[in-house]
Amino acid sequence: MKTGRRLAIALGLCGAWAGAGAQDGATPRAVVAVMPFSNASLRDHATYEPFTVGVAAMLLSELRANPRIQIIERERLRQVLDELQLAQSGEVDPAGAARAGRILGARHMIFGAFIIDPRGRLRIDARAVNVQTSEIEHVETVNDDADNLLGAVQRLGQQLNRGLRLAGPSDASRPPDAGRQGQLLADLKYARALQEEDRRNPARAVQLYREYLAESPAGYAMAQRQEAEARIRLLSAPKPF
């Protein structure tokens, strides 16, 4: 099947999915996709590279909690990025993000970059692109200690909700999770597990998910814990013949 035909089919399917929630008079939800973040760290760049998918996945978990948003899952996004050869480039501009968003049936495409400096400080920049106009419609930045990566991503999600006018006036922002000293290394294992899944290495992904769960406090990052547990069950399930 040719690429153009595959993309046309994907566009038709995603258009149908994007209409979910608009039936029976319900208010349609805004469809949002989060692209992998760029790694701008100048030191230990290779070490932190898994956070390109890790930060995006954590942000997806935060946005998923908003009932006004319908998110595009990682697997669907990855397929489209591969089709457009954007995954290999590592760099995404607003036009490329909007192009992927139109195929996915998304209204907003979020992408950005993170940097972890030698002092253990973290900065994450995020940009939201309006898919219809290909213009950057909102920009957010968060700064924190690297050990508090998840809390920074949660704050970023809350700020994006407000900045894109997707949070209602009655919505109360819950306090972000507070990372303990050394939590960055555990969060890195979560990100590496996602990376191994993308590389079609389920056994290694399961091992890393289990290490992440063992090294993270029981009450920390419940969305990530539940996701890791679900991925372990899925990846460990016997495959049909």
CATH number of the domain residue 61 falls in: 3.40.50.10070
Q: What is the pLDDT of residue 220?
A: 80
239 within some domain: no
Q: What is the pLDDT of residue 89?
A: 54
Per-residue pLDDT in tens (0 to 9) along the chain, 241 residues: 444 444 443 444 444 344 444 444 456 789 999 999 999 998 899 999 999 999 999 999 999 889 999 999 988 998 888 888 765 555 667 888 888 889 999 999 999 999 999 999 999 999 999 999 999 999 999 999 999 999 999 999 999 999 998 875 545 566 777 777 789 999 999 999 999 999 999 999 999 999 999 998 877 878 888 899 999 999 998 876 5
- Residue 137 buriedness (CB in 10 A; 0-12 / 13-18 / 19+): middle
225 within some domain: no
Q: What is the pLDDT of residue 7?
A: 44
231 within some domain: no
Residue 164's domain spans which residues?
3-179
C-alpha 239/C-alpha 217 separation (Å) is 32
201 within some domain: no
C-alpha 70/C-alpha 51 separation (Å) is 23
Q: What is the pLDDT of residue 241?
A: 57
197 within some domain: no
Q: What is the pLDDT of residue 2?
A: 46
Domains identified in the chain, total number: 1
36 within some domain: yes
Enter the pTM of the model: 0.82
214 within some domain: no
Say which residues have a Cβ less than 8 Å from residue 170's Cβ, sequence separation at least 6: none
164 within some domain: yes
Q: What is the pLDDT of residue 190?
A: 95
C-alpha 22/C-alpha 68 separation (Å) is 12
Q: What is the pLDDT of residue 149?
A: 94
Q: What is the pLDDT of residue 224?
A: 87
C-alpha 48/C-alpha 195 separation (Å) is 12
Helix 51-64 to helix 183-198 angle (10° resolution) is 100
